[in-house]
Amino acid sequence: MARTAGENRTSRLTARGAATRARILRAAAELMYVRGVGATTLDDVRAASDTSKSQLYHHFADKDALVREVIALQAGQLLERQRQRLERLQSLRGLELWRDAIVQRNALRNGAYGCELGSLANELADQNEDARLALAAHFTTWQALLAAGLRRMRDNGALRPEADAERLATGVMAALQGGYLLAQTARDTTPMEIALDMALDQVRAYAVEPGAAGDQA
């Protein structure tokens, strides 16, 4: 209901109104990522997006509405990036490149802030059931992209038939999320690199190439 109303309202926006809405949303997403959702007030968002109170409330009824759209924005951007990489995944080398891209992105900020979706999930999952359900669905989508890539690797012979793509995808995703948290706390991506390498070792354990299983450091 709320979503439909929001979409109707969006469709009636002028170009200028749409630009204002996008500016508010970008500012809110940035603040909530860097400071956390709880520490971000609507006044902060208003100030950061250089909008008036009436503009803000015209586009977003309340903080929950803004949080809902921030989740959609962050998930949309993250899943689009992940889709581009993971839909082409078909080899262990490809999986290593996926790992490298994530680590490098995180190294740019010395591990700070963590995962765009993971940090929202940590803060919102127990407070806001709509947010939890949305975030759970986005994690499912993300993990399904990874699982599909691993199934492709199994189907093209890079992994042995007994490799359980769903199970491996869950393990890699947990290693990624745990790695983000340890890197955020240590302000150092090293634990994230180790965690991902160890999870990738579990994928390598199913590699068809002889000697590839479990020997990588």
**What is the binding site for a copy of itself (CB under 8 A)?**
34-39, 112-114, 118-119, 121-123, 125-127, 132, 135-136, 139, 164, 167-168, 170-171, 173-182, 184-187, 191-192, 194-195, 197-199, 201-202, 205, 213-214, 217
Residue 107 C-beta: closest distance to a copy of itself, Å: 16
Nearest residue (CB) to a copy of itself, 59 versus 191: 191
In the complex, the smallest distance separating the C-beta of residue 15 from a copy of itself, rounded to whole angstroms, is: 35
Nearer to a copy of itself, 59 or 120 (CB): 120
Asked if 102 and 142 count as a contact pair (C-beta separation under 8 A), the reply is no
Q: How far is the CB of 140 from a copy of itself (least distance, A)?
A: 8
Whole-angstrom Cα Rg for the chain = 20
Pick 50 or 126: Cβ nearer a copy of itself: 126
Cα angle value 130/78/85 (rounded, 5°): 140
Cβ of residue 35: shortest distance to a copy of itself, in angstroms? 6
Where do the H-state alpha helices sit in the chain? Answer: 2-11, 15-35, 42-49, 53-59, 63-86, 92-107, 116-124, 129-155, 165-186, 190-204
Judged by beta carbon, residue 144 or residue 205, the one nearer a copy of itself is 205
Smaller CB separation from a copy of itself, 25 or 124: 124
Least spacing, CB of residue 158 vs a copy of itself, in Å: 17
Residues 6+ apart with CB under 8 A from 144: 169
Those residues with Cβ within 8 angstroms of residue 146's Cβ, 6 or more apart along the chain or in another chain: 86, 89, 169, 172, 173
CA-nearest of 94, 108, 192 to 150 is 94
